């Protein structure tokens, strides 16, 4: 099957590094430590590494299927399961990516309302950000890739500020190592899943990567970079906070940024929150673009209509989830759905692809033709 995306709309393979990393790092990095410590305690950083390795294997499964068929998951569903069942899978994936977008968007608004603008309403903030999101997505995938590039490069210096709380921490907080059972570590492993979600968007935008098979190493590099950042942030947090303090801290990363003192900046966490828009924007735009493209490829029609519908729905749902309890419920629900998507759906698609290729290959293999036996000549008398 041939890739039907024109080269002028594609991006270089190296940009897959920024696309994969930017869609994984969102608002979850601001508060995931509080949730993973409930299972593995101070050993939860091991679960962070293990979860990153598992995601790397799942990414390889995605790439195996995409490389074999050389198209996106929309066409693969139709090819594997037929028109009706394939379209049903497409709709489910589109709704999943939209739920992912609304989770990131609403959680970031909550951060703004709690830390910076407690009197601003959700709809007033949405009037500022939703037109920007609409403009970026309507510009096409290359524009989204550019936002992903800047969303990785520009906020990167912020992570050097983590060395300050690290210098004030207590190393004994993470000792002794391997002090928890496998079951407790597995609990943190499952909880960490939400922070690593987003890499599966490669199933949608793979045709937009120029010379797709050569981009695999860049995707794995993006996953490795995400794993290293999450692991480092986890260790810094566990060193700085005790387990009792961490369980009562909703936004540990912002709390650590609050202690940083700079002569000309009184509240450094304001800088972090403001620049964090560049971090969450690529994740929102990429997942929303996946939903729009999926609906367009499934039902035809104009992309702008689907995008406008999703934007208005994003506004309505962001207003609906109006308190911490509902937002926390939204995060937990999407995290559970994402767990099923990456740990059950992706392996299922991978195994189905292998079985299908073997059955198809066996049907095409011609049976060896037997040569007619020659009659033995009788010896002359």
| Confidence (pLDDT) at 364 | 61
Contacts 24+ apart (CB under 8 A), 245-252: 246/33, 246/34, 246/37, 247/34, 247/37, 247/38, 249/34, 250/31, 250/34, 251/30, 251/31, 251/111, 251/114, 251/115, 252/30, 252/31, 252/33, 252/34
Residue 376 pLDDT > 50:
no
Average pLDDT, the chain: 90
Task: Tell whether the model's pLDDT for residue 379 goes beyond 50.
Answer: no
Q: How does pLDDT run across 180-216, given as a tens digit for each residue?
A: 899 999 999 999 988 999 999 999 999 999 998 999 9
Q: What is the pLDDT of residue 355?
A: 93
Mean pLDDT on 235-252: 92
**Residue 368, SS3 per DSSP:** coil
Q: Which of 28-32, 53-57, 110-114 has the lowest mean pLDDT?
A: 28-32
Q: How confident is the model at residue 369 (pLDDT cuts 50, 70, 90)?
A: low
Which pLDDT tens digit goes with each residue over 39-94? Answer: 999 999 999 999 999 999 999 999 999 999 999 999 999 999 999 999 999 999 99
| Residue 11 confidence (pLDDT) above 70 | yes
CB count in 10 Å sphere of residue 370: 6
Domains located in the chain, CATH noted: 11-351 (1.20.1740.10)
DSSP 371: P
Query: Predicted confidence band at 334 (pLDDT cuts at 50, 70, 90)?
Result: very high
- Are 87 and 294 within 8 A, CB to CB? no
Structure tokens at 309: 């519908």
Say what the pLDDT of residue 1 is.
58
DSSP H helices in the chain: 16-24, 33-40, 44-69, 73-81, 83-115, 122-138, 141-153, 163-167, 182-191, 193-196, 202-205, 216-240, 243-247, 252-258, 268-299, 303-320, 324-340, 346-364
Report the length, in residues, of the chain.
Answer: 381
Q: Using pLDDT thresholds of 50, 70 and 90, give the confidence band for residue 322.
A: confident
Q: Which residue has the higher pLDDT, 167 or 281?
A: 281
Structure token pair of residue 197: 């979600």
Residue 381: pLDDT over 50: no
Please state the rounded mean pLDDT for residues 370-380. 44
Cut 0.75: pTM above it: yes
Positive or negative torsion for Cα 266, 270, 275, 276:
positive
- Contact criterion met (CB below 8 Å) for 214 and 13: yes
Q: How confident is the model at residue 310 (pLDDT cuts 50, 70, 90)?
A: very high
pLDDT of residue 341: 93
Q: At 358, is the pLDDT very low, low, confident or very high (cuts 50, 70, 90)?
A: confident
Nearest CA-CA partner of 318 in 360, 284, 294: 284
């Amino acid at each position: 099957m041939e890739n039907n995306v024109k080269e002028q709309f594609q991006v270089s393979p190296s940009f897959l590094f920024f696309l994969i990393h930017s869609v994984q790092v969102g608002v979850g990095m601001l508060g995931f430590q509080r949730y993973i410590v409930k299972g593995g305690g101070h050993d939860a950083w091991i679960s962070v590494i293990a979860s990153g390795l598992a995601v790397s294997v799942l990414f390889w499964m995605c790439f195996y299927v995409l490389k074999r068929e050389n198209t996106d998951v929309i066409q693969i569903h139709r090819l594997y399961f037929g028109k009706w069942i394939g379209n049903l899978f497409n709709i489910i994936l589109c709704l999943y990516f939209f739920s992912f977008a609304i989770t990131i968007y609403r959680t970031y608004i909550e951060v703004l309302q709690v830390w910076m603008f407690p009197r601003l309403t959700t709809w007033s903030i949405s009037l500022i950000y939703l037109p920007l999101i609409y403009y970026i997505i309507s510009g096409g995938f290359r524009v989204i890739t550019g936002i992903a590039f800047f969303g990785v490069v520009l906020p990167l210096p912020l992570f050097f500020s983590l060395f300050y709380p690290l210098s004030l921490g207590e190393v004994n907080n993470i000792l002794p190592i391997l002090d928890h059972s496998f079951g407790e570590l597995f609990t943190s492993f499952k909880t960490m899943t939400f922070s690593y979600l987003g890499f599966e968007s490669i199933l949608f935008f793979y045709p937009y990567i120029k010379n797709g098979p050569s981009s695999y190493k860049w995707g794995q590099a993006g996953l490795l970079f995400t794993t290293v950042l999450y692991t480092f942030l986890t260790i810094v947090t566990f060193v700085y906070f005790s387990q009792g303090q961490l369980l009562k801290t909703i936004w540990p990363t912002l709390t650590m940024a609050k202690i940083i003192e700079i002569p000309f900046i009184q509240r450094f966490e304001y800088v972090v929150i403001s620049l964090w828009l560049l971090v969450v924007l690529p994740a929102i735009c990429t997942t929303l673009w996946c939903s729009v493209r999926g609906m367009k490829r499934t039902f035809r029609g104009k992309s702008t209509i689907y995008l406008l519908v999703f934007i208005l729905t994003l506004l309505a749902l962001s207003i609906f989830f109006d308190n911490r309890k509902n937002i926390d419920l939204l995060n937990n629900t999407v995290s559970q759905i994402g767990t099923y998507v990456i740990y059950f759906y992706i392996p299922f698609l991978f195994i189905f692809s292998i079985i299908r290729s073997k059955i198809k290959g066996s049907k095409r293999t011609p049976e060896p033709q037997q040569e007619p036996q020659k009659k033995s000549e009788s010896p002359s008398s």
